[in-house]
Structure 1
């Protein structure tokens, strides 16, 4: 049996960004209200009528998971928070320490690849999958059923965990959807363009935020096609744990 899945981040550096505040004020959790909304919406899509999750109960579970790591010898300030939700409404949260953000996690979306300015950060190498990934409820909602994404990484020769490489997925119509762990946007017509939800991509939490601020724009005309991707093309990667990163396509 699969579970609904959402991964966020607890990071004390996020307390300084007002755009990350929740109903209680400054929040160390990365866009946690958006993660909550996505879990509740996904439960409805899967017809899980026993799910009755409140935002405060989710936040408390995330806080308790992080607090379990605080000891006399260990006091990390940043964690990857993995949330799973069962069909019966049971929630499980685990926390894994990771380095804190050193800057605004959304900063990379302001980079203009055509400006001639050099990018100082590390770039991700982005392959393009050799086979289509059909759109299903397991691509439009995030679950523990990750076989489709694991297969795409295997075809591209990418390890299960790799901070420097990823693979672009496309649907049965040849439209780009996302990468194996991130939403994506391409720099076209002087702006970042992200695949439309109609492609079957996951409507990620950071994608939702970036769209709301017009940092990225939805590809309503379906121009992001596999056969139009160019070698060396710039791509913006983003998710609810890592924030925004920049990549280049390697064909």
Structure 2
């Protein structure tokens, strides 16, 4: 990372999550469904706090560490998120320790319809990857053409996104959502790091595995959840073992877990 980027006063450590705002009618119609969603959100929020805390420690932002270590930290995060005005809040910390949330509109609200059909925000069941029909919906994943050197900004999510933006530009997918197109980043040792906007999971020897942070990729909230739930374990994935046409899982906190297909 350019040294000037971290010195930029707008530089932040961040995490992105999905927050659904329910109206009174929604709450009256489907209390169990909404309660289930809130439990999932709390489960993920704990892991968002963990990744923010790890990033603050890595950057030696002691004021942020102190804020995130406070007993009421989780309540503070919940309050910041609830104050956000959209369904896509992005909690962030500056080096002085303040916790803020930036909101990004995600289109027309369809809260209950989304929840009724949404199984994506929990780790998938163990077992082989689901087969996809010729017209099956998935993300098409290509390989980057240039290696990415692991650094603090690849291990922790920040407002500095240059390596990921560059990978997406090389792949020609700058305007594509990750549910449609993705690109795999790899380090100089030819180990898969992650996808540009997602964690990626491979099926190997009857088990799901995810590239470890030692390969240079981020420890996202959904990746932490997948590991903690027993869905997957960490192990290095060499680029030459990634096969054209193989099905994988992808995840991020906004879209949950969804299928992808490697296209080399």
Q: TM-score, normalised by structure 1?
A: 0.83
Q: How many residues are paired up? A: 230
1:88 corresponds to? 96
| More helix as a share of residues | 2
SS at match of 1:10: coil
Pick which of 86-95 and 111-120 moved more. 111-120
Work out whether residues 150 and 216 of structure 2, in 8 Å CA contact, stay in contact via their aligned partners in 1.
Answer: yes
Q: Is the 8 A contact 1:140 1:201 kept in 2?
A: yes
Which runs of 5 or more structure 2 residues have no equivalent in the other structure? 1-7, 23-32
Query: For residue 239 of structure 1, what is the aligned residue in structure 2?
Result: 252
**Secondary structure of residue in 1 paired with 2:234:** strand
1:86-108 deviations in Å (ceiling 9; x for gaps): 11112221332355342222467
Q: How does 1:70-89 map to 2 (within 5 A)?
A: 79-89=87-97
Deviation (angstroms), 1:192: 1.4
Residue matched to 2:78: 59
Larger deviation: 109-118 or 141-150?
A: 109-118
Cα shift at 1:191: 1.9
**Aligned twin of 1:123:** 138
Residue by residue over 1:222-248, the C-alpha shift from the partner in whole angstroms, topping out at 9 and shown as x without a partner, is: 3x1112211111111011111101000
> 1 or 2, which has the higher strand percentage?
1
CA distances 1:59-112 after superposition (whole Å, capped 9, x unpaired) = 10100113xx6xxxxxxxxx1111221111122213323553422224673375
Tell me, which stretches of 5 or more residues in structure 1 are unaligned? 22-26, 70-78
Matches for 1:185-204 after TM superposition, within 5 Å: 185-204=201-220
Separation in structure 1 between the aligned mates of residue 229 and residue 261 of structure 2, nearest angstrom:
24
Match of residue 24 from structure 1: none
Asked whether the 8 Å contact 1:124–1:247 carries over to 2, the reply is yes
1:107-186 equivalent positions in 2, closer than 5 A: 109-110=124-125, 112-113=127-128, 122-162=137-177, 163-186=179-202
- The CA deviation string for residues 114-141 of structure 1, in whole angstroms up to 9 with x for no partner, is 6767599620000100010110000111
Report if the CA contact (8 A) 2:123-2:231 is conserved. Answer: no
Greater shift, 5-14 or 117-126, is seen at 117-126
Alpha-carbon distance between aligned partners in 1 of 2:162 and 2:132, rounded to the nearest angstrom: 39
Give the secondary-structure state (helix, strand or coil) at the position aligned to 2:189.
coil
Equivalent residue, structure 2, for 1:34: 47
Aligned to 1:15: 35
Instruction: Identify which of 203, 228, 247 aligns with 2:241.
Output: 228
Contact 1:8–1:30 under 8 Å retained in 2 = no
Tell me the SS of whatever aligns to 1:31.
Answer: helix
